Chains A and B, each alone.
Chain A
Amino acid sequence: QVQLVESGGGVVQPGTSLRLSCAASGFTFSSYAMHWVRQAPGKGLEWVAVISYHGSYTYYGDSVKGRFTISRDNSKNTLYLQMNSLGVEDTAVYFCAKDGVIPTVTNLLGYFFDSWGQGTLVTVSS
C-alpha cells in the first residue's frame, strides 16, 4: 500500500533554513504530482506547495512563495521541501500528500490528495 514518511523536522531559530524529506513507496512515485500541506498548532490544514510528476511545474501558497522550494528526485522516490527564512508563523506539522489523479497531457494536476504521511513537526523559536 501507499506509504509516505516525512523526516527532517526539528527546532530551528527564526531566519534559518531547514529541508524536509518525504520517502514514498507502494506506488509509482514518478507518475504522480506531490504536495506539502501543513497544520499550525491549533489551526486547520493549509496547502503549501505542489510539484508535477516530472518536476517541471511547481506552485506555492502565498504565505511561503519566495521562501520555500519544493523538489523531487524520482530516482530516489523522494519529495523535498527546502524552507528558507523561517519565521515563527511557519511552526507546524508538515505533511506530504500524493495527488489523487493520474496526470494527462491536458491536466497535470488533480484536485485532491488521496494519501498522506504522518507528518513531521517544525518548530521555529528563538
Chain B
Amino acid sequence: EIVLTQSPATLSLSPGERATLSCRASQSIDSYLAWYQHKPGQAPRLLIYGASNRATGIPARFSGSGSGTDFTLTISSLEPEDFGVYYCQKRSSWPPLFTFGPGTKVDIK
C-alpha cells in the first residue's frame, strides 16, 4: 500500500509570501497526483492534476511539480483567500483505490 505524507502539518505565512507544500509517496506513483484546497464548510476544490496541470479557473499563482515520490505545491504569492487545508491525493493502479494525504493547513497571518 502506497502511503502519502505531507509536510509541514501547518504553515503560517503573511500575504505576499511564497508557500511551499510537500507531498511524498512511499513508492513511485509517476505523475498521477492531484492537489485540493479545502475550506471549512465548503466543497473541496481541485487545484492541480497530473502533478503539474492547473485545473480550470485556478489562478496562476498555484503551481505543482514533481514526479515519482516527491511532489510540491507552490503558491507563489499568498492571497488572504488562500487559507485552508491542502491535500494531495493519488490512485492505486489495481484495485483502483484512492488515497489522500493527511493535509497541510495554511494559515494567513
Q: Once bound together, how far apart are the Cα atoms of A37 and B56, in whole Å?
A: 21
Indicate the size class of the contact surface on chain B. Answer: 20 to 34
Q: Is A44 a contact of B97 with CB atoms below 8 Å?
A: no
Assess whether A61 is interfacial by the CB under 8 Å rule.
Answer: yes
Interface residue B24 (Cβ < 8 Å from any Cβ of A): no
* Those of B43-76 within 8 Å (CB) of chain A: 43-46, 49, 55-56
| Nearest-CB residue, chain B, relative to A119 | B43
Does A44 contact B91, Cβ atoms closer than 8 Å?
Answer: no
The answer for the CA separation of A61 and B1 in the assembled complex, in Å, is 13
Central interface residue in A46, A113, A118, by most chain B CB within 10 Å: A113
Q: Are B38 and A59 in contact (CB under 8 A)?
A: no
Q: Is A95 in contact with B96, judged by CB distance below 8 angstroms? A: no
A109 and B96: CB pair below 8 A? yes
CB atoms of B43 and A44 under 8 A apart: no
Tell me if B34 is interfacial: C-beta within 8 Å of chain A.
Answer: yes
A-B contact count (CB 8 A): 67
Question: Judging by beta carbons under 8 Å apart, are A112 and B34 in contact?
Answer: yes
- Judge whether A59 and B96 touch: CB under 8 Å: yes
Contact residues in A for B97 (Cβ distance below 8 Å):
47, 59, 61
Q: How far, in angstroms, from A110 to B89 measured CA to CA in the complex?
A: 12
A41 to B14, CA, bound (A): 28
With A44-B85, A59-B97, A111-B91 known as contacts, the answer to whether A118 contacts B32 (CB < 8 A) is no
A45 touches B32 (CB 8 A): no
Which one, A45, A100, A114, contacts B100 given CB within 8 A?
A45
Say how far A24's CB is from chain B's closest CB, in angstroms: 13
In the assembled complex, the Cα of A45 lies from the Cα of B99 at a distance in Å of 9
Provide the bound-state CA to CA distance between A90 and B13, in Å: 34
Report B's interface with A, CB cutoff 8 A. 32, 34, 36, 38, 42-46, 49, 55-56, 85, 87, 89-91, 95-103
Chain A residues with a Cβ under 8 A of chain B: 4, 35, 37, 44-47, 50, 59, 61, 95, 97, 100, 109-119
